[in-house]
A = this chain, B = another copy of it.
């Protein structure tokens, strides 16, 4: 099969990779209908995150089940499925508590690489969720978003305890931040402040439910959030970047007793303990609990209640993945859908 491989920082190419096969009786093979490039793929692409040798890329995926192992009971060939970027058994104590992306058997799909024509999915029953019938083509981008960015924005909003009557600030205007805006809206937030200085992203943020746009960053951004919230800070802040600046911006934008949901993969971040102590914020985040939310998110998408697929503003054939990485790296595109 064809699949994207990162050879060195900045050097992604689509190459011939071996077709996956069932190894364990709990595996499935999925023929991908769509896959995409994630903001987190840029960390190794930019050389910020170390990686070993030529690395297959991608962890987001939707498609038709081609084959399942003998012990797979809920997923069947021919079904259209959405899978979490984190493989989970969905039966261990951690999964049952809703933390499937910390499953005791967790494998991250980026170790497998879904920017390809086929994906090998271990623990298929615990990882994949089938849609009700094969969806229309116009729903595919939104279902693909549910595989990571929508679920990640959603987790950010849940971790930030977004709810009715609350003011929410969103740090980061990538696909995850924008999906955080969408989630905040669905979860009933009263006011949603998107922090963005990029016209197209501001527009999508407003479409997804943002009531205010703040273009300032860092401590200037914090000052504006304070101004907008009677000097107190937001009740809930979704952090969707993962840098030192964005984390501190999120913590400082939150009122005492408020909640920061941080879902940007943290890189070179050190949180000052004393400031955190006196900030009185709640801090929660990590790899999103996509598998927990998938059934609900699939229903919302299939009911046309949400349209997170709008984050894809560029679609390319899989073979042009290199151009996709470049466009995202240069912030020419929010998120790129790849057609295998």
Contact = CB atoms under 8 A, between A and B. Distances in A.
Interface of A: 93-94, 97-99, 101-102, 104, 230-232, 242, 244, 247, 255-257, 262, 265-274, 276-287
A99 B259 CA distance: 13
Contacts of A272: 269-270
Nearest to A94: B256
19 contacts: A98-B257, A99-B257, A102-B280, A104-B231, A242-B277, A244-B273, A256-B286, A265-B277, A266-B273, A266-B274, A267-B274, A270-B270, A271-B271, A271-B276, A276-B283, A281-B284, A282-B283, A282-B284, A283-B284
Q: Which 10 A-B pairs have the closest CB atoms?
A: A269-B273, A102-B256, A266-B273, A99-B257, A271-B271, A280-B286, A283-B283, A266-B277, A282-B284, A270-B270
A197 to B, nearest CB: 24
Contacts of A257: 94, 97-99, 102
B271 A273 contact: yes
A80 B274 CA distance: 34
Contacts of A262: 277
A47 to B, nearest CB: 16
Nearest to A273: B269
A109 B286 CA distance: 37
Nearest to A270: B270
B280 A274 contact: no
A206 B267 CA distance: 42
Given A98-B257, A256-B286, A270-B272, 8 more contacts: A93-B232, A101-B280, A262-B277, A266-B274, A270-B273, A278-B286, A279-B286, A283-B283
